[in-house]
Amino acid sequence: MQCVEKEGKQRVFASRIRITRPPSMAAPLSFFIIPIALLLDLHTYASSAGLVGLDTVLNFSYSGNTGPGRWGSLSPVYAPCAYGKWQSPIDIETDKVVVNKTLKPLKRHYYPSNTTLIDHGYNVGMQFENGGEFIVDGKKYTLLQMHWHVPSEHKIDGVLFASELHLVHKASDGSYTVIAVLYKIGDADPTVAKIQRKLGYLAKEVSARHEVVAQVDLGTFHIEKMRRKTHKYYKYGGSLTTPPCSENVIWHIFTKVRSMSKEQVEALRAPLQSTCKSNHRPVQPMHGRHVQLFI
Ligand SMILES: [Zn+2]
């Protein structure tokens, strides 16, 4: 099954099917499988939550006729994917980055939040009810969700990494700022370790039931615990890396590459649909943009 879904405007408000697990599988408190017929309901729900790339009905993938090279022609609102001049991801050429001494350490205040792990078919992510906030240049952005790409989307000096995490924050004016973390293969990542078993559930459920989207409650999750002390970062202006590729995103990419195990990369890939197993968009032209560096 592809991650491509049928276009349509109808909104369906039927309740989702709830599947009760036996006590032996008690880890997920509840497990929802969302039939394709109810996907539009999810879009409405996801859109109201401001998920990246879910502002319109999905019809894209990462390979074949609906792959990244065709995104711009799939819908009029996807035009920036083809014609935008501030597109993401990019290849960060370190000999061209500009050290900006006026940049500040990132000011983030994350809270324990009710969290849901969602397999969208084109990525796996965690959605926060009240994740906290991030202040950039005096403007407040709210943490909505984080999700992974395998392999990475951004490159550094032409090098692609095993995975990339995006923490997505949105301001009241609809603009975004994303914090990206790159991962190479190595020691296990403690955050992915916490959800690894549930990723296995999602992979099995979507495969066994031929579903595209599934989600599982994670209970309270505190993202604060995944923060480390010092963070040098690259900063540039770009876009969402999924349709509609809107060019209203400030990117912050940590210079420190972290690690996750090979098994964890595979666990993040397993729940994805067949045309989305490599869910990374190719790097985009700079069109005169510069990357700044905070050290
Ligand atoms: Zn992303």
Is 120 a member of any domain?
yes
Confidence band of 153 (pLDDT split at 50, 70, 90): very high
Separation of 47 CA from ligand 1 center, angstroms? 15
- Decide if 197 is inside a domain: yes
Residue 38 covered by a domain: yes
> At 183, is the pLDDT very low, low, confident or very high (cuts 50, 70, 90)?
very high
Mean pLDDT estimate for the chain: 82
CATH number at residue 141: 3.10.200.10
The answer to whether residues 260 and 269 touch, using CB atoms and an 8 Å cutoff, is no
Check whether 46 has a pLDDT greater than 50: no
Task: Please give the distance, rounded to the nearest whole angstrom, from the Cα atom of residue 54 to the centre of ligand 1.
Answer: 12
Whole-number Å distance, alpha carbon 149 to ligand 1 midpoint, is 6
Structure tokens at 78: 């996807």
In this prediction, residue 102 has a pLDDT band, given cuts at 50, 70 and 90, of: very high
Question: How many angstroms does the Cα of residue 25 sit away from the middle of ligand 1?
Answer: 30
Per-residue pLDDT, 19? 29
Please report whether residue 5 resides in a domain.
Answer: no
Q: pTM for the full model?
A: 0.82
Number of domains in the chain: 1
Does 211 fall in a domain? Answer: yes
* Ligand 1 center from residue 281 Cα (angstroms): 9
124 CA to middle of ligand 1, Å?
Answer: 10
First CA to last CA distance, the chain:
45
Residue 11 lies in a domain: no
CA distance 154 to 157: 10
**Nearest C-alpha neighbor of 45 from the set 113, 144, 140:** 144
The 10s digit of each residue's pLDDT in 29-40 is 334 444 333 333
What is the extent of the structural domain holding 123?
17-294
In a domain, residue 4? The reply is: no
The Å distance, Cα 280 to ligand 1 centre, comes to 8
C-alpha 241 to ligand 1 mean position (Å)? 6
Q: How far is the CA of 84 from the centre of ligand 1 (A)?
A: 18
Contacts of 49 (CB under 8 A, 6+ apart): 127, 144, 145
Host H or E run for residue 236: strand 233-238
User: For 18, which DSSP code?
Assistant: E
Predicted local confidence at residue 225, as pLDDT:
61
What residue type is 53 in one-letter code?
G
For residue 184, give both structure tokens: 């190479």
CA of 21 to the centre of ligand 1 (A): 31
Distance of CA 89 from the midpoint of ligand 1 (Å):
9
C-alpha 282 to ligand 1 mean position (Å): 12
Largest CA distance in the chain: 57
Q: Identify whether 63 is part of a domain.
A: yes
User: What is the distance in A from the centroid of ligand 1 to the CA of 76?
Assistant: 21
